Amino acid sequence: MRGLVFCGLLLVALGCEDGTTEPDDEPLTMEEAVALFEGMRAIHQDTTSAILHASEDTTVVACPVGGRVLVTGSASESVAGDTLRLETDFTAAPASCQFSQGGHQFTTDGDPGVREQTVVVIVGLFDHVGVEGTVAGRLDWQLDGRSGSCGMDLELTAEPDLSGNEPGVGGTLSGTLCDHDVELEIESVSRPGN
């Protein structure tokens, strides 16, 4: 009987709502979404960032303006015949991470964060090199008094450039970023503050 009374009171309380809801904050524009993504990737790839903690599979990195990013993951290699396979699997979870990118000042949080997986396969003496990967996850963001959540589901399509003294990888990340369909050049990722 007590349960029925509680259910009745709950239904009355729900029925008494005035029917209005708070509007969602304005979502990120395409330009803001790309700046958010590029800023977070630049922090992960910045070899000069202050390391707050490091262990075998975990690193905590300071963000440029405040906060931190917890990076967990692994890298492995295997050889079968004349084929070398390199795999990376990292997850970055920002905690009140603040940075500037593309003229915007972001604060980000992520639980579980963003997972980036990459596989490089080298056959013979670079007779064939294949690169593939994914970036998937979700970040909570704050920007100019607005806030929201940015989901990402991107696929890496890349070709190595073995010419010159410093080999690199040229390619694109394509898919969805903060509800926008995107195709991002890998070289477009720049350091925070640019």
Query: What are the CB-based long-range contacts (under 8 Å, 24+) for 2-7?
Result: none
Contact criterion met (CB below 8 Å) for 160 and 129: yes
Give the other-Cβ count within 10 Å of 27's Cβ: 15
Token match 């593309």: residue?
102
CA triple 46-64-176, angle to 5 deg: 70
- Point out which residues pair with 176 in neighbouring strands: 153, 181
Does position 83 have pLDDT exceeding 60, yes or no? yes
Cα–Cα dist 84/43, whole Å: 29
The secondary element (H helix, E strand) that includes residue 106 is strand 104-109
Read off the pTM.
Answer: 0.78
pLDDT tens, residue by residue, 34-45: 999 999 989 988
**Residue 82: helix, strand or coil by DSSP?**
coil
> 163, 154, 162, 165: which is closest to 188 by C-alpha?
154
DSSP string of 127-183, one letter each residue: TEEEEEEEEEEEEEEEETTEEEEEEEEEEEEEEEE--SSS-EEEEEEEEEETTEEEE
pLDDT tens, residue by residue, 146-192: 999 999 999 999 887 777 777 677 889 999 999 999 999 886 333 33
pLDDT tens, residue by residue, 23-34: 457 999 999 999
The more confident residue out of 15 and 180 is 180
**Residue 65: helix, strand or coil by DSSP?**
coil
Cα of first residue to Cα of last residue in the chain, in angstroms, is 64
Buried b (16+ CB within 10 A) or exposed e, 111-127: eebbbbbbebebeeeee
Q: What share of the chain is helix, strand, coil (3-state, %, to 5)?
A: 15, 55, 30
